[in-house]
């Protein structure tokens, strides 16, 4: 009788330990989801702040033309040539991208900063239609068809915006759509600070 009651115990223990990784993963996933949906997503940390931009290349958006000339793509070498710049990840299927787009145009008008757009996991036709409808604030428009480059840049979702200093280092990251408040309190000061730092070096 003792053998009969004691035999199942090791099996139950093994099943419990085998479930532990799944439980841990579920807890971590829940915490991450909460961080993305609660509070201010722009406060999510980035390990890339203060580091050079990832060595990525963004091919041009196919058949995108402005003033009769093809709009070029860009790469890491185009960023940080002594000038402060902004990189914005966007997509035509992204509703918040539509909301922030007028503020990108305002940012360009107010600062004169070069804004580099990355069309993420999009169809070229849709990307061109988006810019044709809402305007093109970008100096260059690259593409990230597979999403690989976004991973290297630590992008959480669309849209995301990065301020790059004159040395090609990421000095500010904004997660989510730019708002009037974040434009005034975060992006414009970050650009001004990057320019001031460059002027004193």
User: What is the C-alpha separation between 32 and 52, in angstroms, rounded?
Assistant: 26
pLDDT tens-digit series, residues 103-117: 999 999 999 999 999
Provide the token pair at 124.
């070229």
Structure confidence by residue, pLDDT tens digits, 30-54: 544 444 444 444 444 567 899 999 9
Instruction: Residue 79: name the closest of 162, 165, 141, 7 by CA.
Output: 165
Residues 117, 130: Cα–Cα separation, whole Å:
12
The answer to which of 28-42, 67-81, 86-100, 136-150 has the lowest mean pLDDT is 28-42
| Distance (Å, whole) CA 77 – CA 55 | 8
Distance, CA of 54 to CA of 153 (rounded, Å): 6
Look-up: residue for tokens 């041009």? Answer: 60
Whose CA is closest to 158, among 108, 92, 76, 107? 92
Please report, for residues 6, 27, 37, the alpha-carbon distance to residue 176 in angstroms, rounded to integers and kept in the order given: 56, 24, 11
At residue 40, the pLDDT reads: 44
Among 53-57, 78-82, 109-113, which stretch is predicted with the lowest mean pLDDT?
A: 78-82
Give me the CATH code for the 46-199 domain, please: 3.40.30.10
pLDDT of residue 197: 82
Question: Is the predicted pLDDT of residue 138 greater than 90, yes or no?
Answer: yes
pLDDT band at 74 (very low <50, low <70, confident <90, very high): very high
In the chain, where the domains are located: 2-37, 46-199
Q: What is the chain's mean pLDDT, rounded? A: 85
Whether 148 shows a pLDDT value over 80: the answer reads: yes
| Predicted local confidence at residue 201, as pLDDT | 61
Is residue 9 over pLDDT 50? yes
């Amino acid at each position: 009788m003792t053998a009969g009651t004691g035999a199942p115990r090791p099996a139950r223990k093994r099943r419990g330990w085998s479930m532990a990784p799944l439980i841990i993963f579920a807890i971590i996933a829940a915490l991450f989801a909460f961080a993305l949906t609660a509070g201010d997503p722009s406060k999510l940390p980035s390990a890339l702040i203060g580091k050079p931009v990832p060595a990525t290349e963004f091919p041009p958006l196919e058949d995108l033309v402005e003033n009769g000339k093809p709009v070029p793509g860009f790469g890491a070498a185009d960023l940080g040539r002594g000038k402060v710049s902004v990189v914005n990840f966007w997509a035509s299927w992204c509703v918040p991208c539509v909301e922030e787009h007028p503020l990108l145009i305002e940012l360009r008008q107010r600062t004169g900063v070069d804004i580099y757009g990355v069309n993420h996991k999009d169809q070229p036709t849709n990307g061109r239609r988006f810019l044709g409808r809402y305007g093109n604030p970008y100096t260059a428009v690259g593409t990230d068809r597979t999403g690989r480059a976004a991973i290297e840049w630590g992008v959480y979702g669309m849209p995301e915006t990065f301020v790059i200093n004159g040395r090609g280092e990421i000095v500010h990251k904004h997660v989510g759509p730019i708002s009037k408040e974040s434009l005034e309190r975060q992006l414009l000061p970050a650009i001004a600070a990057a320019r001031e730092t460059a002027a004193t070096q």
